[in-house]
Amino acid sequence: MAITPSAAAAAYQAVAKMGADSATAGASTGATTGADFSNFLSQAMTDAVSTMKSGEQVAAQQATGKADIVNVVTAVNNAELTLDTVVAIRDKVISAYQSIMQMPI
């Protein structure tokens, strides 16, 4: 799968926006850092789900003839990119967990 430069730029902008939002949330202490990370992950998953739902809705509108093909391709491409990102992160988390479990005590 080839990733277009515009899709990569959009993904980088979305991540930068999420990072800027969490950085401006306030001062971070040890106790609130965990909560901030939890909120970040929760918001990222909510955004991923909404992107997937948006792609499904636009595809359904195209099936009824109510959507422009350009909008459908864009929405489905965004949903596919989001799914690929979620799967890659899941794979990294599983790999990190397995590495931790193999560490000697």
Output the pTM of the full model: 0.60
Separation CA 102–CA 104 (nearest Å): 6
Domain membership flag for residue 18: no
User: How many domains, in total, are found in the chain?
Assistant: 1
Q: What pLDDT shows up at residue 35?
A: 79
Domain membership flag for residue 16: no
Domain membership flag for residue 9: no
Domain membership flag for residue 2: no
Q: What pLDDT shows up at residue 67?
A: 86
The enclosing H or E element of 30 equals helix 30-63
Please report, in tens digits, the pLDDT of each residue of the chain (105 residues total): 566 666 666 666 676 676 665 555 554 455 566 778 889 888 989 999 999 999 999 999 999 988 889 999 999 999 999 999 999 999 999 999 999 999 988
Domain membership flag for residue 88: yes
First and final C-alpha spacing in the chain = 41
Domain membership flag for residue 49: yes
Q: What pLDDT shows up at residue 6?
A: 66
The residue range of the domain holding 46 is 35-105
